[in-house]
Amino acid sequence: MLVIPVIDIKDGRCMRLFHGHYETTNFYSDNPVKIARLFRKENFKCLHITDLDGAVQGEMKNYPVIKEICKSVDIPVQLGGGIRDFETAKKIIEELGIYRIVVGTAAISNPDMIKRILDEYTASKIVIGIDEKLNNVVTNGWINYANITPLEFAKMMENIGIRRIIYQDVTRVGNCTGPFIERIKEIADNTKYLKITSAGGIGNYAQLKMLKEVNNPKVDSVMISKALYENNFPCQAIWRDIERMDTSLDLPKVKR
């Protein structure tokens, strides 16, 4: 199970939503680049970035800081938020060297764009984000309902050639109540080729183990944000005590 740390950026700062509401946020750092370097020092193998301003407004708003992150780490970076047209996708892939782009809203409103990306870059360069609320896909930064279920959307994307999705129940985001295992199983059991990255709700090792115990090779990775920032995993105490000697890093207090 590959663990992917998440850096959500709003107004140039690292933050995390609670229950998918933009008015309820936790800010963790004024310097996303330092956080990216920290995760790299902690030996993570991949990094996910979301431009939250872009997710709502439809165009990337934090491009400069994201560009600096990409220059600062030597691991694959996947990026989502505000990718609504082919030109933006092309710029991100070719100028930033992004490993994978994550598209959500545009996959519903502009499926031809998804097909064009697949034709130009293959399925290895694109992931579809499926954000759910009450068995309905939500779009535009989790504001609008798309009137399609997560499973229907997953099947639609699989049929046009997508091979990986990121699934999350937005009501679990930021509250560390665990992943929506039943929905993850439903999508895994009713699709043929999709790989699934779980996101949202992971708060500790026991909940992480729940995903592993799904015991389906399609569910092969998980994205974690708040639990990492707040040091909810015992191994982090070792990492953070060592790294605290580096005064350039603004580290959260280690939980014991």
In this structure, what DSSP letter does residue 218 have? T
Reported pTM: 0.86
For residue 6, what are the CA distances in angstroms to 41, 45, 235? 15, 12, 18
In tens, the pLDDT along 111-136 reads: 999 999 999 999 999 999 999 999 99
Whether the CB-CB separation of 35 and 60 falls below 8 Å is answered with no
20 CB-contact burial (10 Å; exposed 0-12 / middle 13-18 / buried 19+): buried
For residue 246 the two structure tokens come to 């580096």
Average pLDDT over residues 207-233: 89
Among 3.30.565.10, 3.40.50.150, 3.40.50.2300, 3.20.20.70, name the CATH number for the domain at 2-243.
3.20.20.70
The residue from 51, 53, 131, 169 that is catalytic is 131
Phi, psi of 72 (to 5 degrees): -95, -15
Q: Is 119 one of the annotated active-site residues of the chain?
A: no
pLDDT for position 231: 81
DSSP, collapsed to helix, strand or coil, labels residue 149 as: coil
Q: How confident is the model at residue 164 (pLDDT cuts 50, 70, 90)?
A: very high
Average pLDDT over residues 214-238: 84
Between residues 150 and 109, the one the model is more confident about = 150
The residue from 8, 51, 53, 169 that is catalytic is 8
In tens, the pLDDT along 173-215 reads: 878 889 999 999 999 999 999 999 999 889 888 898 899 899 8
Using CA atoms, how far apart are residues 100 and 93, in angstroms rounded to an integer? 8
Whether pLDDT at 248 is above 60: no
Q: Is 250 one of the annotated active-site residues of the chain?
A: no
Residues in the chain: 256
Spatial neighbors of 112 by CB under 8 A, at least 6 apart, are: none
pLDDT for position 41: 87
Whether the CB-CB separation of 45 and 71 falls below 8 Å is answered with no
For CA atoms 132, 134, 136, 139, the dihedral sign is: negative
